[in-house]
Amino acid sequence: MIYKYGIGEHVYIIENGMHIKEVIIVNIANGFYQVCFTDRKGSIKLRESRLYKTIGEAATKNSAAKNEF
């Protein structure tokens, strides 16, 4: 399977539908990316569709997140 992002790459997610957070990809398995937060401890698994390459890309996908910038 070909993945859009690689391990170690910094990407962005929309957390709680309103906050854009930077995360680091630490593992890829079965179509899920395991990402670690850069601002606190912990990690979560997400589908590729929930990851964004840039802050701007994440903001355009979510109108509530646009208000942060």
Task: Give the per-residue pLDDT at 12.
Answer: 97
Q: Name which of 55, 50, 48 is nearest 4 in CA terms.
A: 48
Q: Is residue 4 included in any domain, yes or no?
A: no
Q: Is residue 60 included in any domain, yes or no?
A: yes
Range of the structural domain that residue 29 is part of:
10-66
Task: Give the per-residue pLDDT at 57.
Answer: 93
Q: Is residue 19 included in any domain, yes or no?
A: yes
Q: Is residue 15 included in any domain, yes or no?
A: yes
CATH code of the domain in which 14 resides: 2.30.30
Task: Give the per-residue pLDDT at 67.
Answer: 55
Q: Is residue 1 included in any domain, yes or no?
A: no
Residue 42 CA to residue 61 CA, distance in Å, equals 24
- Report the domain count for the chain: 1
Q: Is residue 5 included in any domain, yes or no?
A: no
Average pLDDT for runs of 10 along the chain of length 69: 93 92 97 95 96 93 62
